[in-house]
Amino acid sequence: MILIVDKPAGITSHKVVSAVRRACGVQRAGHTGTLDPICTGVLPVLTGHDTKLSDLFCSDKEYIATVLLGVRTDTQDITGAVLQRSPVDVSQERFVSALKSFEGDLSQTPPMYSAVKVAGRKLYELARSGIEIERKSRTVKIYETECLGLVGCNEYSIRVKCSRGTYIRTICDELGARLGCGGTMTSLRRTRSNGFDLSQAHPLDEIIQYAESGRLSGICVGAEAAFADAGRCIVPSDGQRYYLNGGLIAYNRLKPAELRVGTLVRAYSEGGAFLGLARCADGGIKCIWQNRSDTER
Name the residues annotated as catalytic. Answer: 36
Q: Which residues contact 14 (CB under 8 A, 6 or more apart)?
A: none
CA distance 282 to 260: 9
Pairing state of beta strands 231-234 and 82-85? unpaired
CA distance 169 to 66: 10
Q: Which long-range contacts (CB under 8 A, 24 or more apart) does 275-283 make?
A: 275/235, 275/240, 275/243, 275/244, 276/223, 277/53, 277/56, 277/223, 277/227, 277/230, 278/233, 278/243, 281/248, 283/248, 283/250, 283/251
CA distance 42 to 66: 17
Are 142 and 62 in contact, with CB atoms under 8 Å apart?
Answer: no
At 86, give phi and psi (nearest 5°): -135, 150
